[in-house]
Chains A and B, each alone.
Chain A
Amino acid sequence: RKEVEQDPGPFNVPEGATVAFNCTYSNSASQSFFWYRQDCRKEPKLLMSVYSSGNEDGRFTAQLNRASQYISLLIRDSKLSDSATYLCVVNMGNQGGKLIFGQGTELSVKP
């Protein structure tokens, strides 16, 4: 089992749609969780951290379920500019700052 697994892509959605990405992780000692966005041929950029209470940033909502070791990202009213690959990222628990990356889910928002 991969340490961090994401929905296989690609997701092709029309503008204005709501899209949800799912991610599971295997290390129960993990403490920190993130969603990164990566545009084609660019570096990954932090989209948002994920907290146990859930958190929202504009059209983006992240949820964490520690019991199920599950993370989600919801994008509402999707825009053309949301087209990118979304990476689920988890820290390696008792190994400090080391991060494990999911393989990414590609999103394509069409007019």
Chain B
Amino acid sequence: NAGVTQTPKFQVLKTGQSMTLQCAQDMNHNSMYWYRQDPGMGLRLIYYSASEGTTDKGEVPNGYNVSRLNKREFSLRLESAAPSQTSVYFCASPGTSGSFEQFFGPGTRLTVL
């Protein structure tokens, strides 16, 4: 029972390249979230999915797209990476169905050159 898993752990891109960050949860929860964390700032919500088949924008959605492939998986795509997207990306899912606390994956450290 791994909780929330993310791949890859590290990635270096050149400006304009695309990539998809993968997230999976094995807790059978409806909600999943993508955040980014930058130095000196709290985590900021990029996109979230309240249930399979639905996605909504968070605080900083520009430059990103998401797919809720099934209940287990929620991916984040950068179509044309920019240096401003250099960050640490975390995926999260609630601890128990209906609760508000969230549990996080180990993160993806992305550098865009």
**What residues of chain A have their CB less than 8 Å away from a CB belonging to chain B?**
4, 31-32, 34, 41-46, 49, 87, 91, 96-104
Given A34-B101, A98-B58, the answer on whether A43 and B90 have CB atoms closer than 8 Å is: yes
**What residues of chain B have their CB less than 8 Å away from a CB belonging to chain A?**
31, 33, 40-45, 48, 50, 58, 90, 94-95, 100-107, 109
Among all A-B residue pairs, the 4 with the closest Cβ atoms: A101-B42, A43-B104, A32-B100, A101-B43
**Additional 7 contacts, C-beta under 8 A, given A43-B106, A97-B100:** A34-B101, A43-B90, A43-B104, A44-B104, A46-B102, A46-B103, A96-B50
* Chain A contacts for B103, CB-based, 8 A: 46
* B106 and A42 form a contact (CB under 8 A): yes
Contact partner, B101, options A4, A32, A102, Cβ 8 Å: A32
Interface of B is mostly: loop
Most chain B C-beta atoms within 10 Å of own C-beta, residue among A49, A87, A97, A102: A97
Bound-complex Cα distance A31 to B48 (A): 19
Q: Name the CB-closest residue of A to B48.
A: A98
* Chain A contacts for B90, CB-based, 8 A: 43-44
Most chain A C-beta atoms within 10 Å of own C-beta, residue among B43, B44, B102, B106: B43
Contact partner, B43, options A44, A46, A49, Cβ 8 Å: A44
Contact partner, A31, options B44, B100, B101, Cβ 8 Å: B100
* B40 and A103 form a contact (CB under 8 A): yes
* Chain A contacts for B109, CB-based, 8 A: 41
* Chain B contacts for A87, CB-based, 8 A: 42-43
* Chain A contacts for B48, CB-based, 8 A: 97-98
Q: Name the CB-closest residue of A to B29.
A: A97
Given A43-B105, A44-B104, A91-B100, the answer on whether A103 and B58 have CB atoms closer than 8 Å is: no
